[in-house]
Amino acid sequence: MRTTHLGALTLSLGLLALSAVAVGPDSKESSQTSRVARPELIVVRFHADWCGACTLLAPNFDSLKRAAAEKPVLFVTLDLTTDGSRRQAGLLAGALGLDKAWDTNAMKTGQAMIVCGRSKEVIATVPATEDPSTSLQKLRQALAAAGGRIAGSGTACPGPQRAPAL
pLDDT of the residue at 109 = 93
pTM for this predicted structure: 0.71
Helix (H, G, I), strand (E, B) or coil at 53: helix
- What does pLDDT average to in each consecutive run of 10 residues of the chain (166 residues)? 47 44 41 74 96 94 94 95 96 94 89 93 93 94 72 49 39
**Angle at CA of residue 164, ends 162 and 166, nearest 5°:** 145
Q: How far apart are CA 163 and CA 139, in angstroms?
A: 10
Count of residues making up the chain: 166
pLDDT of the residue at 145 = 83
CATH topology of domain 2-13+38-145: Glutaredoxin (3.40.30)
Tell me whether residue 165 is exposed, middle or buried, using C-beta atoms within 10 angstroms of its C-beta: 0 to 12, 13 to 18, 19 or more: exposed
pLDDT of the residue at 150 = 38
pLDDT of the residue at 23 = 37
pLDDT of the residue at 71 = 92
